[in-house]
Amino acid sequence: MDTPLQNRTAIVTGAAKGIGAGIATALAAAGARVVVNYRSDTTGADRVVKQITAAGGTALAVAADVRRRDDVAVLFAAARKAFGPVDILVNNAAVYAFGPLTAITEDDYREQIDTNLWGTLLTMQALAAQDDLGEASIINLSTAGTASHPLYSALYVATKSAVNSATLIAAKELAPRGIRVNAIAPSVSDTDGTRAMGFIGSPMADAAIADIPLGRLGTPDDYGPVAVFLASPAARWVTGDILFASGGQR
């Protein structure tokens, strides 16, 4: 088995389902000890941990709300106690709600900006605050929507555009310490979340597929190998990049 992440410790936020679960599983298969973070879906997080351990990997589920600094401190402390310093961070936790510009509320704004951007900043701060850290990799989840600018996504895409900027700036700031910072920009994907929205099978899904040159929606399994690459020594010369894993969607 190829284990390029052996003896590494990873936190994947929002990993109880969907893309986060796919990335957590892939990192574990590559040898990392994985902390499966979740906010409220205990059942889902436990399911991901069981899948990882059943395959011979190492994982732990930890509840924490990435919007809260104290929770992020608890998350990193739990990871350190179980596995040692955290040297892989995947910021996957995000919320989204699509609709016309005129329908955006202040509550929508607070929920999305606090989770998608503030949560990403807090966890990057926590990783960088470790004074015994060697080389490390931060991977933020963006969206191909920052290039394609789909209708009814003004707020969500704005938060992810901010994540892109934070990624590029943090990459410069943290490079002297050997901490690489990159982002993955997925296409529209078939996940638990998009299914719960009723998106899959809808005319909007058909339109999205028509906009993806490879002719299908993404799946959680498409993004795990990309995260493994960015976290691994194979990407040692890659930082400050927004990698579009989007089937060609732009």
| Residue 75 lies in domain | 9-245
Residue 1: the pLDDT is 61
pLDDT tens-digit profile of 77-126? 999 999 999 999 999 999 988 889 999 999 999 999 999 999 999 999 99
DSSP bridge pairs for 218: 189
* Residue 4 within a domain: no
Cα maximum dimension of the chain: 52
Check 38, 96, 156, 223 and give the catalytic one: 156
Residue 93 backbone dihedrals phi, psi, to 5 degrees: -55, 125
* Residue 250 within a domain: no
* Residue 177 within a domain: yes
Active site residue 38: no
Q: For the domain that residue 44 is a member of, what is the CATH number?
A: 3.40.50.720
Tokens of 224: 């795990």
Please state the rounded mean pLDDT for residues 138-167: 96
Instruction: Give yes or no for a contact between 16 and 48, defined as CB atoms under 8 angstroms apart.
Output: yes
For the chain, the average pLDDT equals 95
Query: DSSP assignment, residue 153?
Result: -
Checking 202-206 for CB contacts under 8 A at 24+ apart, the result is none
* Residue 197 within a domain: yes
CA atoms of 59 and 82, how far apart (whole Å):
9
Q: Structurally, how many domains does the chain consist of?
A: 1
pLDDT tens-digit profile of 13-56? 999 999 999 999 999 999 999 999 999 999 999 999 999 999 99
Please state the rounded mean pLDDT for residues 158-178: 98
* Residue 166 within a domain: yes
